[in-house]
């Protein structure tokens, strides 16, 4: 009995030290979480404080739906950039999502191990390439090719869609592949046992079961597409007009801010911050909508 009591007395200081360490670690993690939230709040507040006065000065409808951007004449209409951003994002998703999803299906279900070992590092390498390199590749290779086929100089919506489709592939492939591989093997075995072919099982059983993860990859891909700047600047032509075809030059909201922020002042500078406000709200609405869809699919 005395021995047991002595052991307990020795363990108590150790337990106290462990509790103190755990509480300190918890406090540190809490501080990190608060810093992350505060960073978002501070940046958002700063953008809104700097940008909303310009919307009031210019006029909401004139700013959002105006078709002319000419700072020297104090004309600040961002509707062409809004349309250009939407067209680019939709085009990149239409092209990139099917290719990325089918690649993920192949890697997860059909690819032999030796080929997977080759393709997987290549996909991961795509994720590590800087956006300016993508833009440079587009400017040197894709833009002249489009000019040769369709004319018009090559700097166009089509060139930006091609580049952006390639850039979002790693996000879609990696997350979709992980989601597909996470589907319980019993789903596949049950489908095959009922007489379905391997391809039928993949598209009618496995992909629907992994739908929430696939939608999550699309959400991240959309965020990447909307926020991309440097690669788009190099291949889009950057004309602030509404694109009327795939070969039209255009400008996105992010490109508009990046190109003019260095020399803007006065109302022009405020209008660029206001463009950031619109972009921020647009991304928030889009992400909220896609996240709601993902949540519903995951239920």
* 27-43 per-position pLDDT tens digit: 888 999 899 889 888 98
Arithmetic mean of pLDDT, 46-50: 87
106 and 171 housed in the same domain: yes
Burial 52-81, CB ≥16 within 10 A → b, else e? eebbeebeeebbeebeebebeeeebbbbbb
Confidence tier at 295 by pLDDT (50, 70, 90): low
pLDDT higher than threshold 50 for residue 170? yes
109 and 142 housed in the same domain: yes
Q: Which of 12, 43, 58 is the last residue of a domain?
A: 58
Q: Based on the structure, what is the number of domains in the chain?
A: 2
160 and 119 housed in the same domain: yes
Residue 144: other Cβ atoms inside 10 A:
14
Domain residue limits at 267: 81-298
Q: What is the pTM of this model?
A: 0.83
Distance CA 261, CA 263 (A): 6
Domain contains 73: no
121 and 44 housed in the same domain: no
46 and 155 housed in the same domain: no
Domain contains 274: yes
269 and 136 housed in the same domain: yes
Domain contains 197: yes
Closest CA to 171 of 232, 93, 108, 86: 93
172 and 86 housed in the same domain: yes
119 and 179 housed in the same domain: yes
Confidence tier at 163 by pLDDT (50, 70, 90): very high
Kindly calculate the radius of gyration of the chain based on its CA atoms and give it in whole angstroms: 26
Burial 6-36, CB ≥16 within 10 A → b, else e? eeeeeeeeeeeeeeeeeeeeeeeeeeeeeee
Confidence tier at 4 by pLDDT (50, 70, 90): very low
Arithmetic mean of pLDDT, 120-138: 88
Domain contains 211: yes
137 and 195 housed in the same domain: yes
50 and 85 housed in the same domain: no
CATH of the domain at 96: 1.10.3720.10
19 and 50 housed in the same domain: yes
239 and 275 housed in the same domain: yes
What does the pLDDT read at residue 127?
83
């Amino acid at each position: 009995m005395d021995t047991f009591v002595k052991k307990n007395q020795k363990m108590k200081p150790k337990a106290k030290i462990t509790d103190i360490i755990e509480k300190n670690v918890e406090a540190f993690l809490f501080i990190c979480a608060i810093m992350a939230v505060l960073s978002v709040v501070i940046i958002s507040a700063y953008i809104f404080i700097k940008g909303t006065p310009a919307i009031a000065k210019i006029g909401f409808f004139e700013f959002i739906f105006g078709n002319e951007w000419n700072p020297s004449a104090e004309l600040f209409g961002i509707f062409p950039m809004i349309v250009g951003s939407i067209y680019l994002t939709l085009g990149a998703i239409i092209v990139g999502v099917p290719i990325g999803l089918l690649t993920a299906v192949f890697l997860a279900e059909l690819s032999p191990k030796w080929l997977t070992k080759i393709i997987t590092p290549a996909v991961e390498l795509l994720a590590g390439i800087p956006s300016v390199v993508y833009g440079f590749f587009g400017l040197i290779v894709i833009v002249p090719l489009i000019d040769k086929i369709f004319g018009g100089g090559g700097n166009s919506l089509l060139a930006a869609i091609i580049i952006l489709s390639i850039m979002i592939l790693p996000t879609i492939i990696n997350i979709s592949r992980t989601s597909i591989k996470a589907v319980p093997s019993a789903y596949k075995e049950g489908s095959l046992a009922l007489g379905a072919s391997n391809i039928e099982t993949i598209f009618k059983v496995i992909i629907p079961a992994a739908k929430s993860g696939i939608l999550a990859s699309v959400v991240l891909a959309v965020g990447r597409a909307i926020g991309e700047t440097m690669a788009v600047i190099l291949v889009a032509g950057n004309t602030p007009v509404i694109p009327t075809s795939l070969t039209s030059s255009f400008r996105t909201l992010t490109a508009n801010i990046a190109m003019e922020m260095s020399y803007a002042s006065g109302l022009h500078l405020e209008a660029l911050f206001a463009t950031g406000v619109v972009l921020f709200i647009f991304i928030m609405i889009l992400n909220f909508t896609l996240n709601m869809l993902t949540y519903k699919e995951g239920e």
